[in-house]
Amino acid sequence: MKYTKLGALTVSRLGLGCMGMSHLYTGHSRDEASSIRTIHRALDLGVTHIDTAELYGPFTNEELVGRALVGRRDSVVLATKFGLMSHVGNAGPVDSSAASIRVAVEGSLTRLQTDHIDLYYQHRVDPATPIEDVVGTLSELIAEGKIRHIGLSEAGRETIRRAHAVHPIAALQSEYSLWSRDADDGTLDLLRELGIGFVPYSPLNRGLLTGRLRTRDQLEETDWRLTNPRFLPGAIESNVAIVEEIAEIGGEVGATPAQVSLAWLLAQGDDWSPIPGTIRVDHLEEDLGALDVTLSAEQVQRLTDITPAVGGHHTEAQARLFDR
Ligand SMILES: NC(=O)c1ccc[n+]([C@@H]2O[C@H](COP(=O)([O-])OP(=O)(O)OC[C@H]3O[C@@H](n4cnc5c(N)ncnc54)[C@H](OP(=O)(O)O)[C@@H]3O)[C@@H](O)[C@H]2O)c1
């Protein structure tokens, strides 16, 4: 395993996203044992970066991660998120009021069976609570030993700058992949300027970039992806066809589309720790194989120039929660 820094925090170069073990995706309802085996295998292979949120489930994903980490907590950088679930008063759907953060952190600590969270993210920026106040509350939690580092998710440049002026931000977590490049709007440059790490989420475009998810029929009827623009009838067929461009480069380097997609992300910067999600040991092992894939500069450029996906990466309602 290779390691990197998110701000002052050392994490494995690839992390493990645990959301799909309890939330949104096909398979989570029947596969807790497989999920826990996957977390254990990740730790055995040197993964130290484990990502969850109180939203996932809701709550049950933190409980699952907490159970999986019993006896192994100290070898893990545990990241979770607040701001979309715990509401004190009438606020919502986003709520980063001090009272709500206090409720959220206590709940997460209990469910995760730990006395501290290593990386605590604001899940979505709350327009009603100035970011200075949010980071002020989080600084208090650091002083109390409940959290160690602060992260933001889908935050825009002005928010990042203002937050970092109050207390160092360790990481920004935003959707980023071959097909999702919103952070190219100057956000990535700002992170480098401020020394903030980047955690690309949904790095496999929620499974599409693996080339194995090819039809809507593969998804259970409750799977959230059936409503995602890139999975809609008409779009998914086009997107699956584009993955052939990735498979072609995979053929040149002896790697799968998932590995090539992750290797392209790893080639973007040493200060990134992508968090692919899986509930399967074989998929985890394949994804970690990306660390051994070397792409030439010409291959990286071809991937950078890949045909864009058909459809946005979120619905319009979800995108309204992004801070842009
Ligand atoms: N901050 C935020 O707002 C936010 C939003 C979304 C996600 N996240 C975080 O980011 C993590 C990752 O994102 P994600 O789970 O949405 O998407 P992802 O990592 O892009 O894709 C996950 C999907 O890919 C499949 N997959 C993974 N490796 C595979 C392989 N080698 N072959 C075939 N299929 C493979 C998984 O299925 P199997 O389980 O069957 O392998 C799963 O359906 C989440 O778990 C969560 O922690 C954060």
Residue 147: pLDDT band (50, 70, 90) is very high
Residues 261-315 pLDDT 10s: 999 999 998 999 999 999 999 999 999 999 999 999 999 999 999 999 999 998 8
Q: What is the model's pLDDT at position 91?
A: 65
> Measured in angstroms, how far is the CA atom of residue 25 from the centroid of ligand 1?
9
* Residue 120 forms part of a structural domain: yes
**CATH code (residue 139):** 3.20.20.100
Dihedral angle sign, alpha carbons of residues 177, 179, 181, 182: negative
Angle CA 189–190–196, to nearest 5: 105
Q: Is position 56 annotated as part of the catalytic site? A: yes
Tell me the three state secondary structure of residue 110: helix
Tell me the three state secondary structure of residue 19: helix
More confident residue, 159 or 317: 159
Token pair recorded at residue 301: 């450029």
Residues above pLDDT 90, as percent of the chain:
91
Q: Mean pLDDT score of the chain, rounded to an integer?
A: 96
Assess whether pLDDT exceeds 70 at residue 203.
Answer: yes
Residues 77-126 pLDDT 10s: 999 999 999 888 766 789 999 999 999 999 999 999 999 999 999 999 99
For the ranges 136-145, 202-211, 272-281, 311-320, the lowest mean pLDDT is seen at 311-320
Residue 287 beta carbon below 6 angstroms from any ligand 1 atom:
yes
d(CA 193, CA 52): 27
Assess whether pLDDT exceeds 70 at residue 129.
Answer: yes
Assess whether pLDDT exceeds 80 at residue 189.
Answer: yes
Token pair recorded at residue 69: 């980490």
**Mean pLDDT of the 36-55 span:** 98
* Residue 141 forms part of a structural domain: yes
Number of domains the chain is built from: 1
> Measured in angstroms, how far is the CA atom of residue 145 from the centroid of ligand 1?
30
Residue 96 beta carbon below 6 angstroms from any ligand 1 atom:
no
Residue 25 beta carbon below 6 angstroms from any ligand 1 atom:
yes
* Residue 96 forms part of a structural domain: yes
d(CA 239, CA 231): 8
* Residue 324 forms part of a structural domain: no
- Containing domain of residue 42, as a range? 3-319
d(CA 220, CA 201): 22
* Residue 77 forms part of a structural domain: yes
Residue 20 beta carbon below 6 angstroms from any ligand 1 atom:
yes
